[in-house]
């Protein structure tokens, strides 16, 4: 996490105007995520943050805090970051208050717990800015897909949904989403 501390320090400098930073596979731990998130709370230029394939784990808590105060971040990639169902739920819940994030990628993180399914509709309905949601390889089950379907009906802002490589989804909900969807793009590959 020494390298991430250096990056975080640079991100607090007013002369640093980076709009995107890709830290894919940089061995960032939850502690590193905390350090980076703390520095980005004051940053007004970063629009894209890619933390894919790092061990974010409980570091999701720092990202939730970041999303509650940062007003410029538009895209957040957390693919394969070992985030629990609870962590994914908290990240989605933070979208109620964030008005800048329009793309969230949580590919191959755990989303099979019931606490996610029961509250996903309310969370995604209240987010009027999220346009792209990538839930591929998340072990989605039909109850969560049904929740997402309700969201799509009530929230026309969400225009791109990726639920590919979720083999537990049944044809019933997939067909319903296709037939009653306002989505512009739907990825169902390997379902």
The HSE-up count of residue 4 (CA atoms within 13 Å, CB side) is: 23
pLDDT at position 150 is 75
In this predicted model, what pLDDT tens digit does every residue of 103-133 receive, in sequence order? 999 999 877 655 555 566 677 777 778 899 9
The pair of three-digit structure tokens given for residue 154, joined into one six-digit string: 């009530």
Give the rounded distance of the alpha carbon of 125 from its chain centre.
Answer: 15
Structure tokens at 126: 């209240």
Q: Using a cut of 0.85, tell me whether the model's pTM lies above it.
A: yes
**Per-residue confidence (pLDDT) for residue 4, from 0 to 100:** 94
DSSP letter (8 states) at residue 184: S
Domain 2-187: top CATH class: alpha beta
Average pLDDT over residues 44-70: 95
How is residue 6 written in tokens?
């250096």
Question: What is the structure's pLDDT at 118?
Answer: 58
Burial bucket for residue 70 (CB in 10 Å: 0-12, 13-18, 19+):
buried
């Amino acid at each position: 996490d020494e390298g991430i501390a250096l990056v975080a320090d640079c991100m607090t400098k007013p002369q640093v105007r980076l709009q995107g930073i890709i830290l894919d596979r940089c061995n960032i731990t939850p502690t590193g995520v905390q350090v980076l998130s703390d520095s980005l709370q004051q940053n007004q230029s970063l629009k894209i943050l890619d933390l894919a394939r790092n061990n974010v784990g409980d570091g999701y808590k720092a990202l939730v805090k970041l999303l509650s105060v940062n007003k410029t971040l538009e895209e957040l990639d957390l693919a394969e970051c070992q985030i629990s169902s609870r962590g994914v739920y908290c990240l989605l819940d933070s979208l109620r208050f964030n008005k800048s994030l329009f793309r969230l990628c949580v590919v191959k993180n755990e989303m099979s717990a019931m606490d996610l399914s029961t509250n996903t509709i309310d969370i995604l309905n209240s987010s009027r800015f999220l346009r792209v949601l990538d839930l591929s390889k998340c072990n989605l089950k039909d109850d969560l897909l049904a929740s997402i379907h309700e969201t799509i009906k009530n929230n026309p802002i969400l225009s791109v949904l990726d639920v590919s490589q979720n083999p537990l989804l049944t044809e019933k909900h997939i067909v319903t989403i296709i037939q009653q969807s306002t989505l512009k793009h739907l990825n169902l590959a390997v379902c």
